[in-house]
Each structure stands twice: as structure tokens, then as C-alpha cells.
Chain A
Amino acid sequence: MIRFLLNDQEIVLSDFKAQATVLDWLRMERGLCGTKEGCASGDCGACTVVVAEPAGEGLVYRSINSCITFLGALHGQQLIAVEHLADGESLHPVQQAMVDHHGSQCGFCTPGFVMSLFALGKQPPPSGEKEHRDAIHEHLGGNLCRCTGYRPIIDAALASTAIRAPDRFDRKSCTTRATLDRIRSEDGNRVNGGNLADPSKFLIPRDVTELSRACLEYPDARLLGGGTDLALEATQELKTLDRIILLDRVTELLQVTESGGWLTVGAAVSLSRCLELFTTRYPTVADLLLRFGSRQVRNPGTLGGNIANASPIADLPPVLLALGARITLQCGDNQRSLLLDDFFLDYRVTALEQGEFVRSVSLPLSAPGQFFRVYKISKRIDDDISAVCLAVNLMFEGEGQDAVIRRAGIGVGGMAAIPMRAPACEAAMVGNPFDESTAAAAADAIAEEFHPIDDVRASAAYRMTLARNLFRRCLLEFRGSEFPLQVTDVH
């Protein structure tokens, strides 16, 4: 059984398919057809809805793609769809702004944009015009519009999300919070007290004890992080997912700790949260995360999911490999920690054993003498998958002209069947100053070491040229330039 709020109405569902999506439920079960299906793969944002959940003293509002969100994941949340925004006859300010600025043409993507704008309006106010524009891009990058060219939507966003006038949802937030707290305190589809006879197909463990028990009991169950990839098996490949274990209520998997120069992030920590974590610690990774999927993907998507999924083109593994991250796996009560390099075995094959799950990832914090960069190259800036992702982590010894690379970690994505380190390339750099010849040697080593994939996103030859040239960019950045070195830095 799951319980959640649909706007103000408490919904109790005991009989639902594990793979039922929020979009289908809204449209077919509730007749709420304002939320649209544009792609059913989380790539267009037409189905964007907002979920509110308890955070701190209040609520946090997150936009998600309802087409790839399983219904069970709503347990203990408030679901807000486009029909819920207007207050009687008066439109919500974000809706009114879209009308006033001619932000809709065919109107099919509009409800999704409205919901993303609504979520944006619930974030802390921007500190200035540039920050405001950046936030608009960040929140709307996952909403495709084929008609307007976006300019009027940007204007609507500028006009309606600069100030934070309380709306209906703010006025009711105390009641909403209380209801959600009550729901969460009651049992949902818990795996409680060792009783696993629960016939539910959608399990919501609350701590690692419950989780590890569930994983052992149901080794065939699919682990659900954000579901932004898993859901595609249901909506695109038409597979049947019989049993799902939701990870994002497992307390330990949501923890973030910092000690001894290492940052440890729970596997179910969302990519949006990672973005915040990295903003001060590794700004280059935060920049990468801004281009990771879309806001609607980063909100539910998890760090652990991006790793355990073992996609050759995942964005974070190259970063973590280059940094020398470690991964902690758990099976039953047993934990083991291994270097991330040893986790990826083959195309979509990992070191995870049956009944085992990813508990956390640890990475070293930035240190003096470290030069770290990560580059993602894709066809489109927003919400695209990389052709090549290259992370370069250099530890220097000595100062200025005499600085020599003491340790190098090079992580690459899109260049092989799995995300990989490039040991020959690292070896070519270590012991040398970072100059033209080292950059060239690194590029040559990469070329020697990899036989990149040739697919729909990029040819093997292009990938190879990119990988080589990115060392050149890295060198230019290392040396510093009065000129911008990336197209996104030109203003």
C-alpha cells in the first residue's frame, strides 16, 4: 500500500502494477489530461509534474518527468499537476506570465514548462539577473518546445520567478507537511520486522537492514533509484518489471559525510543534491552536473544509479575514476569497499553480486597541488548524452615552472564499452611538467590505448580526435588564457 497527496487529496493505493507510471495514472485513472506524453522516455519534459516532500522544517518542490516515474515512488509525497496550479479562476503567476508573454503556441509542451517554472519559483530567489537566467536554463533545459524558439518562455520565466510571492501551496504548506509526515510515519510498503510475506510488488525499505533483507529475499527484484533509466525498460522496451525495491527512502543511502579528506555520498543521494555538494568542492564537476540530463532527471536520479547502471556513456564515472573514488557495496550485513576501477567489468556488467547493492561512494576532496577538469562533449548543451567525457586529475609537486605531475588520474567515457581509466595516458604524464609535449604524449597514449565506439552519437574517429584535443584544451586551461576556452564561457 502506498499513500500520497494528489494536490490536497490523500490517495491510498494498494493494488497497482510495480511499473505503472505517474503519467498513465494521472491521465487514465484520474482523467487529468493536462499532463502530456511527448516521448515517454524522459527526454522532452511535456509530462513534467512537481512533487513536494518534507525537508528541514518545510517542503521542497522538485520537478520530475511523470512518464518515467513509477507510481510507487510517490509514497509520502505531494503530487502537483498542471490542473492544480490555478486558484479558482485566477491563474498561477507562472501561468499568467506564459499567457502574457505569448509563451505558448501549439500548447502541447506548455503544461510541462508551466510545472518547471512553478518548481523554479519555489527555489531560493536568485541573487542577480545572471543567476536568474542561469537558474531558468537549469530548470527549463529538460523541456522541449518546437514552436516558440524559447525566447518568450524565458521572458515569462524572468517576469514570474524573480519574486517569491506566497501562493496557495505556500499558504497550505503547514497542513501539507503535517499530512506527509503522518503518511511517512505510517507503514508504506515496508519490509518490516522480518516479515517479507508482503505480497507487494513495490517495496519501500526504510533502512539498510530492510533493504539488504529485501535484496536477499528477492534477488530478481529491480533496484529503483531515480528510475530515469530503469523506467525506459518498461516504457520503451515494453519489459515487465515484476518487483521493484525503492532506494530513496533508505536513510543510510541518503547520508553525506566528510572526514579525513574524503567525501562519502550515499548511493541514493540525488544528482541535484550532488550538484550542490560539488559547487564548492569541485566546481568543474558541478558544471558537468548542470549538463547531466535535465533538472527533471537530476532531481530523482541518483549517484548510485549513475554508477551501478554501468553505462559506457554515464557522466559521473569518468570523474570518479579520475579522482580515484572508492565504492562501498553491501550484501546482507557485509560491506566491501573497492576501487571504482574494479567495479566496471564489461558492457553493463559490474562487480555487484546477487543480493548486493551499492551503499555509498567515497572520493577524495580537492587538495593543494591538484588540477582537475572534466569535459563533456555532446551535440547539444542541454540534456544530451556525451560523445566523449574526459576527466583529468593531476597532482603536482613543486611550484610554478618546476611543477611536475606527481600523480595523474584520467577517466574516460564514450571511448570503450565501459567507463575506464587510461593508465598508459596517466603514465605518460607522470613525472613531467604539464606542457605541450606532455599534452601530446597524453593524447598519443589515449590514441594507443582506446578503440572508441562508433555509434549514432559520434563516429569512432571523431571520438578519438576529441579525446586527443581535450588534452590541448586542458593544457590551455592549465596555463590560463585571457580568452574564453569553452563556448559556454562566451558571453
Chain B
Amino acid sequence: MSIDRTRSVGQPLIHDSARGHVAGTAVYIDDMTPVEGQLHACVGGSAITRGRVKSMNLEPLRAAPGVVDVITADDVPGQLDIGPVFPGDPLLVAGEIEYRGQPLFAVLATSHDLARRAVALAKIEYEEMVPMLDLARAIDDAYYVRPPHRLQRGDAGAVLKNASRRFQGELRVGSQEHFYLEGQVSLAIPEEEGGMTVYTSSQNPTEAQKLVAEVLGISMHKINVITRRMGGGFGGKETHGSPWSCIAAVFARRNDCAVSCRLSRRDDMVMTGKRHNFLNHYDVCHNGEGRLEAIRYRLAGQCGNSPDLSDAIVDRAMFHCDNAYYIPDVLVDGLRCKTHTVSATAFRGFGGPQGMIAIEAIMDEIAFRVGRDPLDVRRTNLYNTTDRNVTPYHQRIDAFSVPRILDQLEAESDYRVRREAIRAFNRRSPALKKGIALTPVKFGISFTVLHLNQAGALVHVYTDGSIHLNHGGTEMGQGLMTKIRQVVAEEFQVNPDRIVVSAAQTDKVPNTSATAASSGTDINGMAALNAARTIRRRIVSFLAEKYGVDESEIVFLDDRVHVGDRTLEFGQAAKESWLGRVSLSATGFYCTPRIHYDRAKASGRPFFYYANGAAVSEVVIDTLTGEFRLLRVDILHDVGRSINPAIDIGQIEGGFIQGFGWLTCEELKWDRDGRLLTDGPATYKIPAISDTPPVFNTRLLADADNSEETIFRSKAVGEPPLMLAISAWCAIRDAVAAVGDYGFFPELHAPATPEEILRAVDGVRGRSS
């Protein structure tokens, strides 16, 4: 791979849509010029949490202004269940209602507003059943959406039994709403011979294609799904983007017209899944210097009403409850608990954060117990690549940049000096206390479901030297299109401006995986590179023969092709190849090598490699009110050899702040009846501009590499930085501990809202008085 002569890869190119974004000309689905006769769908949800419909009178809807059609489950022509992996997600409820707001019917009207107004007119009688709403009770009742799974290495039970330094703990980890700024939206347009074109804001066009085909009862080849860009996804449009395509398609088929289905913010928050909240229990033992001896975990995820992706999500929580630390004897039980709440789904980190935070809490508690700086305890427990190098799932760590990252970050952030200064401040400051923490991240890269680790691409070179690039990945703001354009530009050694990246489209590149698991650039970049390489080889071979030179004498450089001592413009080379009847279009394919996992044995190598990083956060809390602020954040992150440092830094900073929101101000609340109370931005608070720390230093680890042969030796960056924010949560606890002069280990759960922080402060006060 030509990594020495780069002109595109490694450059901080601007996002390929940046100009469109700022000018308001980048088109999102609801911005598309309406198709003649286009109508609007709105979904009506259940007003009860669990039970059945006794009677449903939708006549008032049909009579409402602008209403054209109304459907229920009976009107779905094909398959009703749209569960992505396992059944359990009816498009519209036919049997038991399993959460409040679950779609029961849908209305089609001449405007979005009229459709919404009509929905409110439904007269429904219910037969209510007692819902399960409490995670702790679901654990006790073994009420699951999927069976438990166990990871095990050594004999944690025996070690714990004989341990002299042992403690148990319980940690509540909160849920999180994606709050993509663009809500769920799909537009279905009927085509001739029963076909359908669907524009959707989805991370998973292929799944939308499959499900639309299934609910219509027709073949996938009749459906073309197109996604140019999303206004944010974060996992929330991996599986939960598809229902709205299906609703739109059913209406479009019945009424033979284009149908848009766009969720209002409230419907979006009520009807689509969120991050799994977890209740983590741990039993830990360690030696006198704070080195772990054994941990026994029970990680219980609240999955909501259906399996959705919860099997893989709870697995990933289990795969990350070691984070960067070697646990000699370990046993991890992962529970997939069922509740009558909307099915929890993918969210940046995919369970990883909920597992990782547990061991970071454990590190802090061990440090407190042995009286050492938490950073020293963390170091003591780090994996290495020689003897302490086997994960709870028996994958060997053979490359590990965390030790180097910690050393460099500790020095660059003045961690020790600041820690002392904070202690001095806290001794005298009456109301405010500061805290600091440095935490690492080790995040496994690959879909843990093996077959998803594949990707395709399609590259065309035109006779004027312009290039069209298509691949299976979707753009949700992460800069995927920009990066892959750089990859193809690199292969041809041309200016990236020559290359247009087109919408993900299932009739161009089929059978794609969701753009998820941080894998977008890794797998689609490789597929695109392979496609480009195929075309380049064809051009080389043709020109070598035509000009009678050896293939090694043909060099692509600076938008030109050097053929011996001749120089052709890239476009000229393309045109000559075309005249020579050489195909300038190629597909590319890639599947991640070296990964395997035997789930029955809970053993294997599920991850191709690990992404690493670390952060130091300094916070201040108000011990009278629980208010907090992030004062300074220093991040050092390993992205291998960055394809685009500006985009990577954007992912790191954005991921950090999103994680900070998850662990602090973002709190989802349901009432006792299962009604979501935080159903809009007035009550659900994601970080705003004042939450960005005044000092925010983000650096990429220099001289980094990826020991695995990834795309230009880069590393995935989508999800891992979110977990850097665990440092802020740990720093809050450090600040709370100051209230009791560090004599008590504060009990703190997540999210650490002001109310939770004040509860922790009062807990310490209560113990120290």
C-alpha cells in the first residue's frame, strides 16, 4: 500500500458537504421538492403501557380534514414483524401492546399537520395488563428478551472466596436519547411494475430495503433505498429508522402516491429506542497495591419490549467491562432484561460504555481502599502484550498503546501538579470543590456478529478523468464520504475534487451492513480502495502494452500518469483506456480478516484490533446545589495513521461531549405508569455550548500505527471517544469525595445530574458527621 507518497490521505480536508451545510443547500429528506400528489403519514401510538386493544374506532380519523387513508396491522400486505434479528417488533400492533406509544395505526393526509391532528381523534378502548417497568424487578424475575450469556476465565468465585481485600458494588448507568437533530424521516415513491424507491434517513439502507420488501410481500430487487445524508444518527437510525420506511411504503402502495413519513420530535422520542440503561453489580478482590485479583460481574441491560439488537449490545458491554485492565480471574454474566418500555437500541458505543464505566468505578474504589492515586492503580492494572494480555473472552492483546498514551497525557496535562492544586483549593473553598481524573479507553473494533464485517464499493472513472464513487456506508456527519474520497484519490494520486461521492443506494452496492460499530471507514474504505485498485491495474496493464513499457514504469502522481518518459493527464489516460476498450468501472469488496468468535464457548478473537485513547477531566461542583462544570479536558487519542486529522478530532471532541451528556445532564425519566416524561428538548437536556470546557485540548497520538493492515493503517474513531467522558464522571466523584476530606468513597450513579451529585454530597456528609 502506498503510504509514503500521500497527497490526500492524512490531509485535514473539509467535509465534502460543508459548503452545502452552511449555505442551507445540502438536501435532507424533508427538504426534497415534493413529488406531485405527495401525501403525509403519521403514526398513532398506544395510550396504555401494556395490554390489548378491545376496540378501535378510527372512523373519526377518516372523516377528519385532509385524511386520505388509515391503516392498522390488518392492512399490512406482507410480513408484519420487522424485528431486525429476532422477531418481536410488529410494524403496527396486532396482539399485545408492550409499551406506551407503541404504533397501533397510521394516518395518511394531505399535510403533516393534518395527519398529526387526525391521529388525536382515534377512539380506542383497551384492556390493560400490569406492565414490568423496573429493571431490578426484571432481574429478580429473570424476565428476559434473550437468554443470559457468560464470559469466564479462571475461577473468580474461588479467588473471591479466599480474598482478604474484597468489596461489592452496584452501579446504575442511565439511558440516553440519541437526539439526532434531524428526526426520523422516510419518503416512499411507487415505481412501475410494483417497485418502490425509498429515500430514508437511515444508517442501514439494506435493512430498510429488506423490511420494505417483506412488509409489502415482494422481492428485494423491487425496492431501491437511497440515503444521501442523515442529520445525525448515532445508532438511533440503525434499526429504528426502518419502521417509517415501511409505513410510508405501505401507504404508497395502497394509494399509488408518494408518501412521506416524518416523526415529530415528541413521536420520535416516544416511539424510537434509546441507549440501554444498565444495573451493574460487581464483586471485586485485589492485593495491597491495588492490583486486581478477580472480578465477578453481573451486567444487566434494560432492553425494553423486544430483542432488537440487545443480544449484541449486552455482549459488547461484557466485552468492555475489562476496559484496559487485566483481570486474572473473571466471570461476567450479561442479562437482557425485558421491560414494557420502547425497545432499547444501538447508541454510539453499543453497550461498551455501560460495561466500561463499571471497571472505572472499580479502579477508583480500589485506589481509595489502598490509598493510592487512581492513576497509579490504573497503571498497575493495565494489560500488557506479554503476560497479562488475555481478555475475559480469551482474545490476546498483541498491540496496546494505552501505556504510552497515559505517560504522555499525564505529562502534557500536568496531572500531578493540578491534582495537588485541586486538593489545596478544596481544603479551603467553602462551597465549591474540584475534582480530576484520568481514564483510558480500549475499545474493540469489528462487528461482533461476524457476517456484518463485509463491505462493497463501486467506482467509475469517466473519460474526462472525473470519478464517481459509491459504497455501502452512509453519511451521518462523521465525514465518511470525505475520508473515502481521500482513499480513492490516494489510489489514483488525483485531487479529491475529481471525485464525487454519491448517496448510499441499494441498487448500486447491495447487501451492505449498517454504518455502525465505528466500521464505516475501515470496511467501506477498503472496499473502495479495492475497486479503485482494480481500475488502476487495468489502466496500467493497458498503457504498458500500448506504449511498450514495463508496468513498473507506470506511475500515478499529481493527477497524471507517467508512462516511461511520457506523461499523460489522468483524464487522458482514462480516455485512452476507454478507446482501448478497457472497463473503467469496478466493484470492490472487503471482509475483515482474522476475526472469529465461538459464542457457545465465549471464546475467540471478536475484534480485529483495539482503538485506544485517554482523557483527563477537571470539574468543579457546587456542594450546595449539585451544579457542576467541566473546566478543562485534555485528550490524547490513538487513531493510528489518521486519514483526516480534522475529521478525527471532530469525532473525538464530539464523542467526548456526547458521552459527557450521557453521564451528566441527559436524564430520561418515565413515570410509574411507563409514560416517558422527557419527551422533548424542553425536558431532555443534551449539552449546550456552555458545557464545552473553556480549555479543551485534543491531540492525536503521534507516530501511531495500526499493527493490523487496516485502511492506510488508520483506526476507527466513531465510538471510542464517547467513553473518554468517563473521566469527567470520575472527576465528579473525586470532587464529591473532597466534602468528606477524602475519608469516604462517595456513592455516585450515572447520570450525575445536579440532583444526583447533591445526593452523593449529602451521602458523604451524612457519613462524615
Taking beta carbons and an 8 Å cutoff, which residues of A are in contact with B? 24, 27, 31-41, 43-44, 46, 81-83, 85-86, 91, 95-96, 98-100, 102-111, 114, 133, 136-137, 140-154, 236, 238, 375, 377-385, 387, 455-459, 462, 465-466, 469-470, 472-473, 476, 481, 483-488, 490-491
Contact = CB atoms under 8 A, between A and B. Distances in A.
Contacts of B12: 102
B518 to A, nearest CB: 15
Contacts of A384: 685
Contacts of B30: 27, 33, 37
Given A36-B231, A102-B650, A490 B688 contact: no
B545 to A, nearest CB: 44
Contact of A465 (B628, B629, B687, B758): B758
> Main secondary structure on chain A at its contact with chain B?
loop
Interface stretch (B20-28, B123-131, B455-463): B20-28
A31 B692 contact: no
Given A99-B18, A151-B696, A483-B432, A456 B678 contact: yes
B181 A46 contact: yes
A34 B689 contact: no
Given A43-B680, A466-B758, 6 more contacts: A40-B264, A105-B477, A136-B689, A144-B686, A149-B653, A150-B688
A91 B23 contact: yes
Contacts of A144: 179, 181, 681, 686, 688
Given A43-B682, A379-B753, A469-B624, A104 B265 contact: no
B758 A43 contact: no
B220 interface: no
Contact of B629 (A109, A470, A487): A487
Contacts of A238: 113, 116-117, 120
Contacts of A152: 650, 653
Contacts of B180: 106, 108, 146
Nearest to B622: A487
A147 B654 CA distance: 5
Given A107-B231, A146-B658, A379 B685 contact: yes
A203 to B, nearest CB: 23
Contact of B431 (A44, A148, A154, A485): A485
Contact of A106 (B25, B182, B646): B182
Interface in B670-707: 677-678, 680-683, 685-692, 694, 696, 698
Interface residues of B, number: 94
A141 B688 contact: yes
Contact of B686 (A103, A110, A146): A146
A86 B22 CA distance: 9
B629 A104 contact: no
Contacts of A111: 21-22, 24
Contacts of A380: 665, 685, 687-688, 690-691
A86 B656 CA distance: 33
Interface in B102-148: 113, 116-117, 120
A88 to B, nearest CB: 11
Contacts of A149: 653-658, 687, 692, 696
B683 A456 contact: yes
Given A380-B685, A465-B762, A483-B430, A146 B179 contact: yes
B669 A456 contact: yes
A90 B694 CA distance: 32
Interface centre among B180, B622, B629 (most CB of A within 10 A): B622
Interface centre among A39, A106, A481, A486 (most CB of B within 10 A): A106
B688 A108 contact: no
B625 A150 contact: no
A39 B179 CA distance: 10
Nearest to B688: A382
Contacts of A483: 425, 428-432
B265 A95 contact: no
A105 B15 contact: yes
Given A36-B231, A43-B681, A381-B691, A148 B28 contact: no
A85 B683 CA distance: 33
B501 interface: no
Given A41-B265, A99-B22, A105-B15, A143 B689 contact: yes
A459 B755 CA distance: 8
Contact of A108 (B28, B646, B686, B692): B28
Nearest to A237: B120
B628 A487 contact: yes
A461 B120 CA distance: 36
Given A102-B646, A154-B692, A470-B624, A148 B181 contact: no
Interface centre among A144, A153, A487 (most CB of B within 10 A): A487
Contact of A488 (B117, B264, B629, B653): B629
B681 A44 contact: yes
A377 B182 contact: no
B517 interface: no
Contacts of A469: 624-625
A39 B681 contact: yes
Contact of A137 (B647, B689, B762): B689
6 contacts: A43-B680, A83-B24, A99-B22, A104-B18, A151-B653, A379-B667
B477 A107 contact: yes
A41 B682 CA distance: 8
Nearest to A232: B682
A377 B678 contact: no
Contacts of B621: 487
A379 B15 CA distance: 33
Nearest to B698: A151
B619 to A, nearest CB: 9
Contacts of B117: 238
A378 B687 CA distance: 13
A35 B230 CA distance: 15
Contacts of B694: 133, 491
Interface string B476-493: 111100000000000000
Given A102-B15, A483-B430, A483-B432, A36 B182 contact: yes
B24 A40 contact: no
A99 B19 contact: yes
A38 B182 contact: yes
A30 to B, nearest CB: 12
Interface centre among A100, A141, A377, A472 (most CB of B within 10 A): A377
Interface in B405-447: 425, 428-432, 434
Nearest to A139: B689
A462 B762 CA distance: 11
B232 interface: yes
A154 B658 CA distance: 17
A375 B234 CA distance: 35
Contacts of B372: none
Contacts of B14: 99-100, 102
A481 to B, nearest CB: 6
Contacts of A107: 15, 17-18, 20-21, 26, 229, 231, 477
B731 to A, nearest CB: 13
A39 B684 CA distance: 12
Contacts of B476: 106
B477 A473 contact: no
B631 interface: yes
A318 B626 CA distance: 21
B676 to A, nearest CB: 10
A37 B180 CA distance: 12
Interface string B622-654: 101111110100000000000000110110011
Contacts of A35: 24
Contacts of B646: 102
A483 B623 CA distance: 14
A41 B684 CA distance: 13
B755 A104 contact: no
Nearest to A140: B689
A379 B754 contact: yes
A40 B430 CA distance: 43
Question: Top 9 closest A-B pairs, CB basis?
Answer: A34-B24, A106-B477, A108-B231, A107-B21, A149-B657, A33-B31, A43-B681, A105-B477, A82-B24
